[in-house]
Amino acid sequence: MSHIIKTVEDLQAIYGERSPRADKKVLSRLDKHCRTFIAHCPFLTLATSSEATGTDCSPKGDAPGFVKVLDDTRLAIPDRPGNNRIDSPLNMLDNPQIGLLFMIPGVKETLRVNGNVEISIDPALLDILSVEGKRPRCAFIVTVKEAYIHCAKSIMRSDLWNPEKHIERKTLPSMGRILADHIAEELDAEAYDASMEERYRKELY
């Protein structure tokens, strides 16, 4: 007998019937609770995929409210400066389907939003998304197809927000050390680490 699941029937045999409530809770719009969650959210993960360029899950974060709800079915996410790999935007051009996971420190539940995305450089929108007078280079406008609150079990199991479980950063190799090893070329890891925080501060926006 194979140990690899290959069919819907195999999955259903393991998981059983899904709860009717799991379907009923899914909205096709952003109600007042979704809007409140998004308004308090400083961090999300953004998942995209493309047959041409692969899959990607990218972290996005800023002050609470950095994601703007435009109306009942649309929200806008600023794309702040990064490493210019543009993995997510490349995927979006090929496949507009997108998945978002909103997280609020201290809150055990998460908000999931699935839909389609467009990349906008509308100056008026970028002005709204500006920080310290600096516009994002573009904005991701997500048209919501599904929005629903996700239960707290994964956060509870991980104990993610418990400060007593947070490890010391020095437990892991530094960013400079990891980068030097990953790119397999000569890099002064200590010098890189020494200048990293200053670079971060200058390049946040």
Per-domain boundaries in the chain: 19-158, 167-203
Query: How far is residue 83's CA from residue 182's CA, in Å, rounded to a whole number?
Result: 16
Report residue 166's pLDDT band, with 50, 70 and 90 as the boundaries: very high
Provide mean pLDDT across the span 140-164. Answer: 97
Considering the four listed CATH numbers 3.40.50.300, 3.30.460.10, 2.30.110.10, 3.40.50.720, the one that applies to the domain covering 19-158 is 2.30.110.10
Q: What is the pLDDT of residue 16?
A: 86
**Sheet containing 68-71, strands listed edge to edge, beginning at the edge strand earlier in sequence:** 54-61, 43-50, 97-103, 110-120, 138-150, 74-79, 68-71
* pLDDT at residue 184 greater than cutoff 80: no
Residue 75 tokens, joined: 């929200």
Among 176, 178, 202, CA closest to 189: 176
Q: pLDDT tens digits, residue range 76-88? A: 999 999 889 999 9
